[in-house]
Amino acid sequence: MRRLIVLLYLLAPALLSAQRKLDYQLQVKADLAKKSFFVQGGFSFETDTAAADSIDIVISKGVGPVTLQLQGAAAVMDTSLKASGDIIYRWHFRSPLPVGTPLHFTCAYERGGAPAFQFYLDSTFCMAGGYGLAWYPQVTDGAGNHTRGTGTIAVTTSGNLMPAMAAGTVSVKNHTYTFHYAQPDIFSLYIGHYTRQEYKGQLSFYTYSLSSGIDGKDLSRKSAAVLDYLSSQFGPLDIPNFSIIEYPDYVAEITGIGGASILGGVVMPTGALREFNYALFGHEIGHQWWGNKVLAAGTKGEEMLSEGLAQYGSLQVVSHFDSAHAMEYRRTGYPGYINDQCGLGYLKNVAAGNDEPLISLTGSNGHTIGDSKGFLALELLSNTVGKAVFHKALRTIGDQYSRGGITWDGFQMEVEKAYGSSLQWFYSQWFERLGAPAWQSSWQQQQNKLQLNITQKDSIYQLPLEVLITYNNGTSSLQRITIRDRNSQLQLPVDGLVKEVQIDPYFKVLHWDEALTPEALAQAKVVRVLNLRREQKNEEAMKLAQSYIKEGFPDDQYGVEYTLLYHMGRIAAMQNKPAEALAYYQRSLQCVSRAPDLLAYTYYRIAQLAAAGNDDDLMRWAAANAVKADAAHNKSGGMEAKVAGLLASTVAKTK
């Protein structure tokens, strides 16, 4: 991982209301010291058309038998196992049920502490994410989508542990916390030694923090400002409160989950909360609308209606609160955020042979391309129709499509309706076509006229462009043009002797920028290896990286060799080959060109391996250098806290 939040999974799938009036009354008794997570209670709903013949209830595989009983209909039940480890309990009705038939289930089972995706339990912390694991009984429709439900979740803990859930209201009696959900949701539960801080904004804000170094009031205050701003752009939200919930960095490392947006909340590891990042929180809070309030109906453009629009919201937040970094965000990435979610990140993927049209993104490309090309295409669309018009369309979508979801064609239609004219030319060239525009330009001054020639190299686009003209006396002027043809010849008025002419100087149009292209082509090797890692093809990733290392890097200006060696170390560590991992990390430090954002993590990985191998001298040397490298990189990795935790755990082991 580039840093802890690089492999960020935004857990907001298209979850539709399959059954009507689904309501839960559940009790959770969690004894973390005994690794016990016991669930019991009941749930009821009225059947929809998909449940005429059968209904599926999904429950995570636990450590003992599951008691699941149906009242209200005659049925037989069989089970099957999903790849995730969840068990499907399929109830076959002896006669078809009319729509609206009330059904009531009761359940009781011990989930235990067995790890699974989005589930982790140890003596001090528990994560039970409902978006990826059925820790409670989840009802599905005929297509396998989980249904959101209302209800009451009563959680009983021991000691000074506190449960945290988002988007509901909570009451407390003794060690039982009762969460009430008046509007349908997918339930996620976190248990730890939490301190809860409240901030009063337009919505109630809560921060559940585990670490003393987390400033909950500051996080809540800034998050509230972001939520209020996005509400002014996208429309209001109907949630009783908003929660920021911390979980430990080591849990993020073990589960591979670097953060999540859930209805009414943001769930983040400790390292991502030590300093407020406008791009990160803008994206996650943006998901409150795109992926939570408004769901995608159908697969066409699905990722753009979630990831793309959430990332667009992130850019609006940066432009509003930290405008000095807005162009950097578009071009090479926002400081401290996922640095490939930008124009350069997309160009690197294209150079690596990874590209898909925005309307049909698959797998990890929902993030990889949706969060790089996707948000820039939406930003250009908003500038083409006007921000006020575009945001009016988004508010209309939020008002009218929050129940049944919206198709991609419906989204395009709403933007056209607000604009008052066809935008098919834009949709075709940006959402349905591969790649990005490329051009070359030349200019010649003729007295008070500038003769500007622009040639589009590959596909022809209709492009609104800015032209920055700089004069010998140091002044400048910004003019706007539109090109539509392979070759465009334009005359622009000038007032003085022209020194320099820049096309799209602020990177408002995604394109093959002359300064970015060499780096994109060089870093393509790293991208190919990383994409294999994301697909869990570690052996293939390692072989490919080794082949690149064997070829050599005679002119490595962008730290490609260093970055490859770092990721080879990560793969070896994941394969439980600590000696090989350490050798790769140490070898990477010998490279002349090194990536600044990875340097602190390289030292930290060495420190971790040294601690595991009881090499105290190496551990302390690497830990000190991790802190120094992080300080030189604006402390974006939060190394002081990570190193302090590592040293503390090392001391504890020796006692």
CA contacts within 13 A on the Cβ side of 432: 11
Would you state the pLDDT for residue 7? 34
Type of residue at 440 = Q
Distance of alpha carbon 114 from alpha carbon 577, whole angstroms: 24
Closest CA to 59 of 40, 72, 44: 40
Structure tokens at 157: 């803990």
Please give the residue that has the higher pLDDT: either 507 or 81: 507
Look at 84-98, 439-453, 458-472, 637-651 and tell me which has the smallest mean pLDDT: 637-651
Query: Which pLDDT belongs to residue 652?
Result: 59
So what's the pLDDT on residue 19?
62
Q: 562 with 591: CB under 8 angstroms? A: yes
**Mean per-residue pLDDT, 209-229:** 89
Phi, psi dihedrals of residue 196, rounded to the nearest 5°: -105, 125
The mean per-residue pLDDT over the stretch 621-650 comes to 87
Rounded average pLDDT over 322-330? 97
Q: How far is CA 290 from CA 12, 299, 362, in A?
A: 8, 15, 18
- What is the model's pLDDT at position 272? 87
pLDDT at 175 (0 to 100): 84
Q: What is the mean pLDDT of residues 312-338?
A: 96
CA distance 503 to 513: 10
Query: Quick check: 142 pLDDT over 80?
Result: no
Distance separating alpha carbons of residues 368 and 549, to the nearest angstrom? 25
Whether domain 20-276 has CATH 1.10.260 = no
Q: What is the CA 238 to chain-centroid distance, rounded?
A: 22
Q: In this structure, are residues 565 and 549 in contact, taking their beta carbons and an 8 Å threshold?
A: yes
Lowest mean pLDDT, pick from 79-93, 420-434, 437-451, 469-483: 79-93
Average pLDDT of span 477-485 = 97
Q: Is the pLDDT of residue 9 over 80?
A: no
- What 76-83 contacts at long range (C-beta under 8 Å, 24+ apart), as own/partner pairs, is 82/58
Q: Is the pLDDT of residue 260 over 60?
A: yes
pLDDT category of residue 141 using cuts at 50, 70 and 90: confident
CA distance 439 to 488: 11
**Which residues are within 8 A (CB) of 555 and not within 5 positions of it... i.e. 6 or more apart?**
none
Q: Are 203 and 165 in contact (CB under 8 A)?
A: no
Percentage of the chain lying above the pLDDT 70 cut: 96
User: How would you classify the pairing of strands 176-185 and 169-173?
Assistant: antiparallel
pLDDT score at 501: 97
Span 446-452, average pLDDT: 95
Tell me how far the alpha carbon of residue 28 is from its chain's centroid: 29
Q: What share of the chain is helix, strand, coil (3-state, %, to 5)?
A: 35, 25, 35
CB atoms within 10 A of CB 273: 28
Q: Which long-range contacts (CB under 8 A, 24 or more apart) does 449-452 make?
A: 449/491, 449/492, 449/493, 449/494, 450/491, 450/492, 450/493, 450/494, 450/498, 450/501, 451/489, 451/490, 451/491, 452/481, 452/489, 452/490, 452/491, 452/492, 452/501
The model's pLDDT over 269-310, given as tens digits with 9 standing for 90+, comes to 998 898 899 999 999 999 999 998 999 999 999 999 999 999
Q: What is the pLDDT of residue 397?
A: 98
Q: What is the mean pLDDT of residues 379-402?
A: 97
Q: Are 77 and 91 in contact (CB under 8 A)?
A: yes
The string of pLDDT tens digits covering residues 591-619 is 999 988 899 999 999 999 999 999 999 99
pLDDT above 90 (res 543): yes
Residue 238 predicted with pLDDT over 60: yes
**For the residues 68-79, what does the mean pLDDT come to?**
90
Query: Could you write out the three-class secondary structure of 111-163?
Result: CCCCCECCEEECCCCEEECCCCCCCCCEEECCCCCECCEEEEEEEECCCCCEE
Q: Does the structure show a pLDDT above 70 at 400?
A: yes
Per-residue pLDDT at 3 exceeds 50: no
The reported pLDDT for the residue numbered 12 is 40
What is d(CA 654, CA 643) in angstroms, rounded to the nearest whole number? 17
- What is the pLDDT at residue 593? 93
The string over 397-413, giving b where at least 16 C-beta atoms fall within 10 Å of a residue's C-beta and e elsewhere, is: bbeebbeebbbbebbbe
Contact (Cβ atoms closer than 8 angstroms) between residue 406 and residue 397? yes
More confident residue, 428 or 133: 428
Calculate mean pLDDT across residues 163-179.
Answer: 93
Residue 147 has pLDDT above 70, yes or no: yes
Q: Are 260 and 189 spatial neighbours (Cβ–Cβ below 8 Å)?
A: no
Separation in Å, CA 403 to CA 18, 296, 398, 414, 465: 11, 11, 9, 16, 39
Nearest to 3 by CA among 333, 338, 325: 338
* Nearest residue to 286 via CA among 322, 317, 259, 258: 317
State the pLDDT at residue 217. Answer: 85
Percent of the chain residues topping a pLDDT of 90: 74
Q: What is the pLDDT of residue 10?
A: 39
CA 569 from centre of chain: 25
